[in-house]
Amino acid sequence: MIPLLMADPGEELIIRKIGGNEAVKHHLENLGLNAGGTVTIITSLNGNLILKVKESRIAINEDMARRIMV
């Protein structure tokens, strides 16, 4: 497992674990990021990521990306 921040753009990844406190986990779940779900990194700029989750695009910062293990 590696943090989402370390993964390569363009590759479809499976989320293995989401760390952090309950508020962070709940926020990420509301965005569609759940353990067992898939995510694709569209682009990475200075640690901030734009992700494709299902049919949506979302942006997360570096701190959030470090909490998501793929």
- pTM value is 0.87
CB 14 within 8 A of CB 37: yes
Q: What does the pLDDT look like over 2-15, one tens digit per residue?
A: 999 999 999 999 99
% of the chain beyond a pLDDT of 90: 89
Q: In this predicted structure, what is the pLDDT of residue 56?
A: 93
Q: What does the pLDDT look like over 54-70, one tens digit per residue?
A: 999 999 999 999 999 99
Mean of pLDDT over the chain:
93
Structure tokens at 61: 């910062």
List residues bridging with 62 in a β-sheet: none
Supply the DSSP symbol for 2. Answer: -
Q: What architecture does CATH give domain 4-69?
A: Roll (2.30)
Query: Does the structure show a pLDDT above 90 at 47?
Result: no
Q: Distance from first CA to last CA of the chain, Å, rounded?
A: 5
